A and B are shown apart, each in its own frame.
Chain A
Amino acid sequence: MDSTKKRKVSALRVGTVWLLLAVLLIVLSLTAINVGSAGYSVKQILTALFSSEKSTVKTVVVNLRLPRLILALLIGASLSSSGAILQSVMRNPLADPGTIGVSAGAGTAATTILLLFPQLTGSVPLFAFGGAALACFLIYTMAWKGGVDPTRIILSGVAINSVLGAYNALLQMLHSDSLEGVLAFMNGSLSGRSWSQVHTLMIYAGIGLVLSFLCIKSANTLQLGDEMAKSLGVNVSVTRVLLSAVSAFLAAATVSVAGMIGFVGLVVPHISRILVGSDYKQMLPTSMLMGAVVLLAADTLGRTVVPGMEIPVGIVMSVIGGPFFLYLLRKRGKMIGS
């Protein structure tokens, strides 16, 4: 019965996890400010920041590294929260925003604009957001049959994702000479983002994250099974749609700013569940915090590991996330909640 004892999560354990994540967050943030292709020393940075004069150091730190840092944190937290909520909606630990068409929808819209209407490139975020919302709406409409159940959502998701994927592939083939922007979008990057994106995302992610906290009780109830939730007086289908909307909103907001970043929404809630248990009261905040840490780490790694070159954060996440996920699956044959 040793293994079962480990599963009971004490308040102390949750506190320790949160404290550790907070420390990591601070250390990583300081590192992210400090490292980069322009090699400034800590002293240089501090002097520049606290002097009233304008300097290159100050510009780089305040206008490049700082907004990027904040974006990474917001996006990590949003994607993880989005994944965590969706996993309760689907009652499936393998659900991520891609399941409900957010990635495919945003990708389709972005590809269309970038390749067919390049004059609208500046509005890609807006269209990506719209595309994500539209694809998600389409999937739920097709899955609706007197209510929504996870299997039907996943299956219509597969269908829509496949059609949109084919369209994307075709479009890219026809315009294979001008794929630079598309590739950047598909592989999620934080390169060259500025304060204006931070301001936009702050509003959307702020709203989304607050809404996520309101989902906690419902997410927990859905874990008890559809019939049990119904018999407790929960309108299961309406709850599913509302939670999905919050999840899609968060994911769409991040996609529109940074393109597609995979694996965060899948892996982070999983690790959180292992660390603090399946109760969303602890699991959701842990996911947000950990998501911020993980994405910041991946982005910082991506822009420093090869000198003079930036590896998009989406690629770093997939490269590290994939094997790590396999490791988790092998190590814990039976995971909590699976």
Chain B
Amino acid sequence: MVVNGKKLNIGYGDHTVVRDMDINIKAGKITSIIGPNGSGKSTVLKALTRLLPYKQGSVFIDGRSLKDYSSKELARNIGVLPQMHSAPPDFRVKELVGYGRMPYQKWYQKNNSEDDKIVDWAMRSTGVWELREKSIHECSGGESQRVWIATVLTQQPEILFLDEPTTYLDIAHQLEMMQLVKKLNKENGIGVVMVLHDLSQALEISDWIVVIKDGKKYDEGKPEDVITPKMMKEVYDVDCDIIHIAGREKPLIAYKEIC
């Protein structure tokens, strides 16, 4: 499955945030969208997933216009974990994950045994199986984020869109989240599109990186080709070196010393 955005103009009200954006998401790959705060990363993600209607341009999923998909059909093909989500704190983990089956049901239908199997699978794949009887309130930040991933995974999407999935998590849980993303991509062949703030993580995990600056695409390509001292200076106004270390497949970003 491929997602193509062409000449997208996206914004809120009269305010245009993203201009003339061409973006292509490849099947089965991990794509990261990076850029400074307010550059329009999340806006692009929202437009590609129809959470926000775009003003001009077009989005095609597998060659078919995004506008031609019904809400449920879209939800069966792509899964989106927005930045803002909440559940009543007393909802149980397995119930919440169960909502991921909604795109496959009529409004009056409940989860059947087939649905339950998929819910179980999603909970096992994301490592929240042990938590299934707990309430959301009882889960830690890292745990609840995995529960939400499980919910979206239950939709059985071909591509997962994650909007800053590691924000608010401590470093251990951030890495755990990245490992989970990699695992889902590798073992299940699910494509992933993420908005990421941590460039080291983006560098390490991504197959493809799209850099956005001031609502326009600055560059895209393989991580090593895109994340360069020049890009860091021009996009983030940050000085850094990219260091290769023996025994490590991916390079590291060394920021200039603070003092």
Contact = CB atoms under 8 A, between A and B. Distances in A.
A232 B100 contact: yes
Interface in B58-85: 70-76, 79-82, 84-85
Nearest to B134: A8
B82 A227 contact: yes
Interface in A189-225: 214, 217-218, 220-221, 223-225
A329 interface: no
Given A7-B90, A9-B90, A279-B91, A221 B71 contact: no
A120 B96 CA distance: 52
Contacts of B137: 4, 7
B85 A227 contact: yes
A233 B99 contact: no
Contacts of A7: 89-90, 135, 137
B75 A231 contact: yes
A225 B89 contact: no
A233 B102 contact: yes
Contact of A4 (B46, B71, B138): B138
A146 B85 contact: no
A336 B88 contact: yes
A228 interface: yes
Contacts of B85: 224-225, 227-228
B49 A231 contact: yes
A227 B88 contact: no
B152 A234 contact: no
B152 A231 contact: yes
Given A4-B135, A217-B107, A336-B88, A232 B99 contact: yes
Nearest to A147: B53
B9 interface: no
A233 B82 contact: no
A227 B73 CA distance: 16
Find the residue from A1, A228, A336 having the highest chain B CB count within 10 A: A228
A235 B75 CA distance: 11
Contact of A233 (B74, B134, B138): B74
A224 B87 contact: yes
Contact of B103 (A8, A232, A278): A232
Nearest to A5: B138
Q: Shortest 7 CB-CB distances between A and B: which pairs? A: A233-B75, A278-B88, A227-B82, A231-B80, A233-B72, A233-B103, A228-B85
Interface of B: 46, 49-51, 53, 70-76, 79-82, 84-92, 95-96, 99-100, 102-103, 107-108, 134-135, 137-138, 152, 155
10 contacts: A8-B90, A146-B53, A227-B46, A227-B84, A228-B81, A231-B79, A231-B82, A232-B99, A278-B88, A336-B90
